[in-house]
Structure 1
């Protein structure tokens, strides 16, 4: 239903003046009569009066208001939990009948005047046409995301109710029991709450980082139901071969654990599978095995943290670096201690060195001679003239004794290591720290990790800079107040994860560049989940270790089973690298090659794709969770045999249709039909006068 109204910016009583003006002009023109009969003369006068009145009416700034009303029918969302647990632990015959019944229920609700929307946990806005044809393959169950998906899509579309079809097993995301939703939830319970006789390999515990020649444990925890007093055999397998076996007695308590001691002589990624051999009468064997992916390395990276004098930054850096098992940190303070220099350092952190007092100059010279990648932290005691001569990636011209108080901002364009999704907002909340005021200039090859924000103004000035180029890789932090960042993050979030990862990733990036390879191909993560895409990045350097672009890189990917696939991508500045998409679980190794300055260079590496295996841990439906959701929504819990009752309750709820109005205002001067009206009046008067003998 639509209506059209005309309003004016001034009082509508002024329209009488417009009409009077039209009548006055018309009377003046036609007062003496003419060669027309009285009826025609009145018609001509009326046309002229109306034309003039409408033109004068424009002075009142008229506008139209179009009101359109529409009926929005109530919508009911049928949200199906299509996770693996529903298909694994619900009778196939019963599940098939239930899904077909839900399709029929949707049709009947549609005929009763309700609009029905079918949804599942598929990503995006994929339309579900038939529940009976929907694959039950989702690797995790996030019931909150499933319900919120309908809430978000139909936020302004008169969402009346959500029917949640699930077994109640929830293993990812917020618990829906304590969430607020826009519509009541009617849970429909699938699955079986009676515990089956089953043996479950509940967890495998192991250190992800281990060292060659050392022995490390792999601990398996086994849970069972209904096998009291029997024994089970637990196998440790590598590459499909059993390397160790243990026999465990299944106690009455239901849980037992056993440990394997493993020794790895060669470095690299290792893939072990722990498996419980099936027992007679076991409900399912799907949850009898789990995978363990670990890395064996030659040794730790040796990192020197040297400061000209004691400072709170040193404790913050030491604590951050020691969260990473790969780093062996040595801390020295001048002028009280000297670095050992017994073994070559893989990276060094120099706090206010070069120093205005000369402390640490010898240390710096030895590190520069050994070409150790260095992370410089600047402050009030830094000798900026000496620092500028180091060509570390950033220089300051005419340093001032004054300081700017700046806040850090993460540069989203920096892609050499990945940050947590929350890093952007958490770093932005770190407190301001002092930065020497001056003209900071970045070297062409340098990359900005953190930028400065002065007050409310976001700038492009650097705060943390990384330079991969010759003579050695380096990084520079322009403030000596980063200890405040770690302290603030610990207070606000209970941990300093983002600060610790930023510092450890930066030091690892420096240390790993010590070999000065010309071609470096690397995964953005060492471990990927089976549900996420795999991406590889690349760096290419010239003879003086300056990064260059435009090379074509060929890559051969070897899957765990020996299958090989070949890929090709171009190394571009700011490019997205090589996207491999979702890969099956396993250890992958790759070799890459590129032609750089008329020579061929190669690189190799490996990464892991692992599965979460959450859906097969519980073979018992959790109907109590669904019951709590129903109680919170003031509805009730339904079972597959009660679809008819569910239909009656939805219809009896008498969800109301919403009448929604939409108003649109538009200036009359912007509407062509008004000009055609004026033109029509003028042409009609002219045509009549012309036809009847006088203009």
Structure 2
């Protein structure tokens, strides 16, 4: 029970102040005139003013409330290193026992886990949520058990009481980490890109640790070993070996006494792209489709096109002097002998033997294909004649031979069953039905894959691999009808672009491929094949264990499966003769970027509320009570601020001046003053 005097004025305080000023003026006037009853008049005015102020005696029935102490326990990944879990558990048990033994004290335990994704230790987020659930006037203190590696200090809430950090870890801890900077997402195949590497030691580093080994592997292959200085930025030139995704793994072997090796590996995934695709287009006599090929290749900014159209063959003799011809001589020797290897693709569009390219040149084209080049033949009517390019040394490279028949009839090109599974022709999008073509050269397939068919299911597009190179044969010169919108047109641009990119070995158009796409810790495993069935994919996790994953067909020739990776790191995929690698998450998560226990992040917040920092390896501090605003930590002790909070159960009020008493006293003082002044 507590009693206090409060005021509940009958009129506003401003009006009451005006009345008091008026009364004071009257008393001063009486004093100035020498009236002997001025004191009695002043007492009467004072009684009236006191009554107007409304003094009330208030009695509260209060029940004391306990003080609340928050114990924040860091159970993030970095707290699992060395003996930190045992340190945390032992200290938490002792603190719980000591706090529960205190009078008028309640304990709230707050557990901090790793944040979602790679957010790290979100202690301030957890602390803010805990404070929001408690009356701030009852919080007497905050005790954190942590290594001090907090990653959300920007969310620091306003602390209502002293905060203390009991630091885990050892002063003798040391760690080594590998840092890779400025790693681009894309790089040009065959050209070096510079990565900046740094091997960094922190903590109580043992003497003599000035160099460290570094292992580098590409796509999970055998690593190469180097020795690098510690603490220096090293510029490392890297050349990507192939197009598509290249997975580079950099590893520093674990050193003796090191705190962890989780930050000794860095995964860099870069896509290899070609600088410029060099294409040689050789057109025979002009025809409407020639412009289609040219427009297609010129529309791609990554293509360097060299285009020659044979307008005047050598046998043409019309009497025009050579110096008056506005034509450029065909540099056959330069293109087909000296610089043929500079091209990624050679296209023969309705080309026939006209004495321009000697047999030795076309034989050189066959060697070019066998060594990894690509040739596309768009056949016109001449392909079925004796002047056909098939009748040259290049014929042994082509996947089909002409039957000497050219069919002039309307037909709609169609994708074969095999073509539905081939990446060049599968899923060609087009609104409506494909338009018709009007000509087709009859072919007799010898090898390769027929992916499109025409009249009476005759081969229209045949693809083949020759040696290390690729060859495509299109048995019609009427693809341009689609680009003109004839009978609604068709996916001519998409088809020809896919065809050109497949021949230039773009990874996304490989017909037999295994790869994976990652989102967080989930990977989508994708297997493309021309076969009717595929086996299970063997997934090898970073720790060496294996898992069999069954694939299901989602579209013709495409099989997929989702796999949730149990940990961060490099995964190997294998199905039959096909292998792939992929990295899930960062090689060194945020929790392991810095692992040495420190108070650097939390110190400013703790100093602001006059708290303290203590290492658990030096013993657990005792707990004392301190007054608010006083230092809350000292040698071997930490302080809690008793809040003295209470709950009001009942309130009673009684007037200090009853109205009848005010009236009686005020009237009495006025009458007494009048009588005194009257006798005088």
TM-score bin, normalised by smaller chain: 0.3 to 0.5
Give the TM-score, by structure 1 length.
0.40
